[in-house]
Structure 1
């Protein structure tokens, strides 16, 4: 068993900064949006369920006068529709902090997936990120400051079994973002990736349930084995994810760019 003291909130000020966070009504995205709001940012959250978005926006902290939060209804899995919506958003809004986060593609073996499956995963994980980033960059470059943070996965270092689509496309995003980070660094725009380990979210629950159905092993046992493999012997908490994103979004991380940071409780064995 572990014993963790309740952490104090980070002394990071993002007052007057505008943040756009994808897939933010639950899980990691919600943890990120909540922490950015707690640090003073005006947060706009994106997801496809408007009712959940409305409820979530009302729950976001408001710590300063004039701080405002909003939402954008967008379906990451429908790229043509997403492209129209996100272009419309950037016609009227500027963003200082962009957090590229989407729902993950369906699990499965590489040998089971068709070229259409890979194209859909590419649209979901790569095209949406590329499109949103390209729209956010002109303002950041003109202002001489910007933060782009990509929510990725440990699978880019070591492929995770049964996640062929995610393993493949997320690696492409890492290579693209490193290339772009070098190009825009001269404008004081930073781009960093977070390599996500196992966090206590609905996504990990769904993956565990899928594995349980495929193997006949109980979900409880699969979860226990996952936790045992992690040196810290537990799953991560979404608010812990938010702490790292808030740091990367702040002036404290102004000289940090082009990196891929594992957030995994020590699970990754490479260095």
Structure 2
């Protein structure tokens, strides 16, 4: 029996050329934001169902776009447009392919607890002291941080934008909510914090954060010709804000593993996934 199995494996190895083996490998770049982790893991499992070997590559936003543009990654489903990552798109749009939105109704801005007396960014002109004169931010250089700096200038606000990470921002939010204190944080939808806490966006009458965003799928040049099946799946891959936020919240539970929460979502949304891959 063993000899028969070994022979079959050797036969397969001899009949499958290196090019054919490589053609089943897919590299997906993503930013380690909660929404991108969810979408990337769900897509990875869907592609693996079709027999692909999928490598996920966590990168900073600029490096993610560059990886797709250079062909070091085949695709990404974590491109926020038109504002958040718009500068990267303008720089690299001729070197990659924008397939289109996989999540619509996305948004960026500043959020506060729903109980906060603050309702508009303009309120911070006179009430900055209520939040310690701070807006709690994420990674320096992130698109939302650049938009936040622009908002501070546009509204003439006496506040400081505090650098950090998604983790430090949500930790500060958790502490403020627990202590029933007011806080302003950089925020985006989809994000698990909207599933976990009662929050509201501050109105932005000057449109410093732009209109609604979408999260988009990118592909390297030539993917459509090299891997038509993968390209077709990428075209059909779509998630709702509600679905993403639910899986993101599950990922924040103690001991949660993104691959397992993604597998559970796929099991509960079989018809949707079959629509992508069949």
Tell me the TM-score normalized by structure 1.
0.33
Q: Larger strand proportion, structure 1 or 2?
A: 2
Which of these two proteins has the greater Rg computed from alpha carbons? 2
